[in-house]
Amino acid sequence: MSYQPIKWSTGLVPLAVLWVLGTVGAENDTGKALSSRVQAAIDQDVENPRAVASGRDVALYGQAFTHANLQTAVDKALAAPLAWKARRRLVGLPA
């Protein structure tokens, strides 16, 4: 059996394409699932909640009545499965 890199190396191109498509698809699905989980979790603490996931990082948007509600929303976002970091873009409403 002789060494023929041309035959096996042509199979690397389709393999690389499949790997890229699988990675991008999985990342999009993970981000959407994480956004919906976090948004559902912070719904009770924040008015007009919106959660945007980029990979496993989450940005929170909305308005809260107290600082305790702000902190609770961030804590709930971090408690969601797959979340690594939560950025807060929440605004406290004036009393």
pLDDT attached to residue 92: 60
Contact 93, 65 (CB under 8 A): yes
Domain at 5-92: CATH architecture:
2-Layer Sandwich (3.30)
Q: What is the tens place of the pLDDT at every residue in 18-69?
A: 999 888 878 788 888 889 999 999 999 889 999 988 878 888 888 888 888 8
pLDDT attached to residue 16: 92
Q: What share of the chain is helix, strand, coil (3-state, %, to 5)?
A: 50, 25, 25
CA triplet 33, 38, 41: central angle to 5 degrees?
Answer: 130
